[in-house]
Amino acid sequence: MAFPESFLQELKMRNDITEIVTSYVTLKRRGRNMVGLCPFHGEKTPSFNVYTENGSFYCFGCGAGGDVITFIMRIENLDYVDAVKYLAQRAGMELPENSYDDSLSRLRNRVFEANRTAARFYFDALYSQTGRAGLDYFHSRGLSDRTIRRFGLGFADDDWTSLCKYMRSKGFKDSELVAANLAVQRKNGNGIYDRFTNRVMFPIIDLRGNVIAFGGRIMTDEKPKYLNTSDTPVFKKSANLFSLNNAKNSGTRTLILCEGYMDVISVNQAGFANAVATLGTALTSEQAVLMKRYADEVIICYDADEAGQKATARAIPILRNAGLLIRVLNIPNGKDPDEFIRSHGADGSAAFKAVIEKSGNDVEYRLQKLRLANNVETTDGKVAYLEAAAKVVAEISSPIERDVYASKICAELAIDKNSFMRQLENISKRRYREGAKKQARKIQTDLSGRNDKINSEHYKKPRSSSAEEALVVYMINNPDSAEEIASHLKPEQFQNSLIRRYYEYFLGRIQSGYEPLTNIAADFTQDEASKLFQLLSQSVAAASTHSAMMEYIKVISEESRKPSSEDVASMSPQELSDYLEMIRKNKR
C-alpha cells in the first residue's frame, strides 16, 4: 500500500521544494520560476528550474525532473520510502503505521547492517593471526595503527567462506549477502562464497557514516590488483567518492583528487584530510557534481605515469564543466603521492605541501605539456606549439585571463601578439559556429523525439503523440476538465502507450477526488516522472484554452481511427478503396 494522500499532501506542504533545493543549489528568480546550476550534471549555464506553483523541478540540460520527494531520492540516493522518511523527520511528522510497502527500504537497511558487520569482521581479522600478512603490508606502506583504525582498514583471508559463515552466525541470509555483494552465488546454484579473499580491505563510507561498499587490494602481482563492490541497493560506484566523508569536514573548499585508496590514506596521514578518490572507475560527471557541493577547487593528484597523465587530461574538462577551479600537481621524479610522501620520511608532509603550493592551474599544466611535446627551437615546432596553445587559451571564458596567457606566450616566444589574438578570434568564431550547429541539431532531434528512450513512440507517431501529450498536460493543469475529456476519449484511443498510462492514471486520480501530482514519485519510475515534468515544463499558453483542448481531442480521435500498417496490408481491394476515399473526403 502507498502512503495516505492526506499524509503526502501535508508532507509536501511542510517541505517547500524551493527551501529544500536551496540547501543544495544556489537559486535565482527568473520570472515565476527559480533557476540554478543543476546538481545532477555538470553545467556552466543554469538550466535547472524550480516551479514553486506546483512544487516541481525540471532540468532542461539533463532531463531530471519531479517533485520534492523525487529530488531527495536523487540528491541523497534514497529509495522512495526512505526519501519520505527523510522529509517526514525534517518536518517533525510521524509516519503512518503499516500503510506502505517498505520492502526495498528494509533490504537497504539490511545491506547497510551487513556492510557494517563485515567491516568489523575484516578489521578484527587484520589484527588476528590470520591477518598478519595484511597488517605487515599496511605497516610496510608506512601506515600507522592510528590511521588504520581511522579508516577501518581490514583483511579478507583466503578461506573463501570465512565471511559467509560469520555473517550467517549473526543472522544474515544468503540473499542479503549476495544483495550486498559481500558474497557470490555459485554457478551451480548450490550455496555462496566470499567475494573478497586474500586482500587488504578498504571500507567505503558515505556522507552519513554508513559503510556502503568495499575495495580490496591483493598483496601480490596478481590481477586484478583491486576488486571493488559492484553496484548494490545502497551503492553506485560512479556517484560516490572514497573518503569524501572525511574531506567534507576538513575545513577547506579545496579537494585533492587522488588515483587510489592508498594515495588518499597516505595524503590524509600526512595531514591533508581533504583527499578523495574515485572507486575503480574513471572520473564521472556525477562525481564532479558531487565534489562541487563541497568544493570550489580541485587539485588533481594522479600518478605521473602515462595512465595517470591520460586520466588527468580526461578529468580536466569534466571538472571544468562542473564549475570547479582546477590545479594539477606535478610530483617530482614521476612518483605517486604515496611514494613521494614516504620517500621524504618525517618531512613528507612539508614536502607535499610545497608541491601543492607550486602546482599550476589546468591551463598552465596543458601549456606545459604542449611545450614539452614540441621543440620550439625549430620553426615547425614553434608553429605547432602556438597553434595548439591558441586552442587551449581560446577555451578560457574570462577576457582578462585570456589576455594574460596570450601576453605570456607571445613574450616567451617573441611573436606579435596581434597575430596570436587574431588566431584566438578565428578559433572562437569557428567554435561558436560549430556549437550553434550542434545546438540546432540537438533541438531538432529533441523536437522529433528520435532519441527519446522513455517516450520512444513519439517519433513513430508524432501527430497523435503531440496531441496526447498536450491533452494530458491540459487535464493535469485543469482537473475540472477531466469529465468532459473522458466523455470524448477512451484510454484505448491513445496511440502512445506511455501517454496512455499517464492519461489513465491522472483521469483515475481526478475522478477519485485526488490531487493529480501527489504520488508521482511512488507510482512512476524516475525516468517516467522526469518525462512527465518535462511535458509540464514545456507546456505553452495554447494548452490552457478550451478550444485547444477540443483540437487535441479531435486529432486523437482521427488518429485512433486510422488503421495500422498491418491492418492496411490485410485489407481487401474494396476495403482499401473505401479507406482511400475516406482520406480524400477528409482532405476536402
pLDDT by residue (tens digit) across 80-108? 999 999 999 999 999 887 667 788 889 99
Amino acid 541: pLDDT: 43
pLDDT given for residue 333 in this prediction = 78
Q: pLDDT by residue (tens digit) across 69-82?
A: 999 999 998 989 99
Q: What is the pLDDT of residue 566?
A: 61
pTM for the model: 0.82
Q: Is 334 left (phi over 0), alpha (psi -120 to 50) or beta?
A: left
- The per-residue pLDDT for 542 is 47
pLDDT tens digits, 206-230: 999 999 999 999 998 888 899 999 9
Average of pLDDT values for 120-128?
98
Displacement of CA 444 from its chain's centroid (Å) = 25
Instruction: Look at residue 588 in the predicted model and tell me its pLDDT.
Output: 52
- CA gap 126, 145 in Å, rounded: 11
Give the mean pLDDT of 387-391.
95
Query: In this predicted structure, what is the pLDDT of residue 434?
Result: 87
Quote the cell numbers at residue 249: 569536514
Q: Which residue has the higher pLDDT, 548 or 451?
A: 548
Please report which confidence band the pLDDT of residue 576 belongs to, taking 50, 70 and 90 as the band edges: low
What pLDDT was estimated at residue 586? 57
Which residue blocks in 478-518 are alpha helix, DSSP H?
482-488, 497-511
Instruction: Specify whether the CB–CB gap between 323 and 37 falls below 8 A.
Output: yes
Instruction: Quote the CA–CA distance of 269 and 348 in Å, as a whole number.
Output: 10
Provide the pLDDT for residue 331: 86
pLDDT for residue 403 is more than 60:
yes
4-8, 58-62, 565-569, range with the lowest pLDDT: 565-569
Whether pLDDT at 502 is above 90: yes
Strand partners, 325: 297
Say if residue 370's pLDDT is above 70: yes
Mean pLDDT of the chain: 91
252 in Cβ contact with 274 (< 8 Å):
yes
Categorise residue 171: left if φ over 0, alpha if ψ from -120 to 50, beta otherwise: left
Is the CB of residue 338 less than 8 Å from the CB of residue 263? yes
What is the Cα–Cα distance from 119 to 114, expressed in whole angstroms? 9
Do β-strands 56-59 and 65-67 pair in parallel, antiparallel, or remain unpaired?
antiparallel
d(C-alpha 202, C-alpha 38), whole Å: 32
In the predicted structure, residue 31 carries a pLDDT above the cut 80: yes
For 54-61, what is the mean pLDDT? 93
pLDDT at position 140: 95
Whether 122 has a pLDDT exceeding 80, the answer reads: yes
Q: What is the mean pLDDT of residues 299-316?
A: 90
The whole-number pLDDT of residue 330 equals 85
- Rounded to an integer, what is the distance from CA 463 to the centroid of its chain? 33
pLDDT > 70? residue 61: yes
Percent of the chain exceeding pLDDT 70 equals 93
Residues above pLDDT 90, as percent of the chain: 76
DSSP labels for 242-287? BTHHHHTTSS-SEEEEESSHHHHHHHHHTT-TTEEE-SSS---HHH
pLDDT in the model for residue 316: 94
Q: Residue 567: pLDDT band by 50, 70, 90 thresholds?
A: low
What pLDDT, on the 0 to 100 scale, is given for residue 104?
85
Q: Which of 78, 88, 74 is nearest to 109 (CA)?
A: 78
pLDDT, greater one: 417 or 577: 417
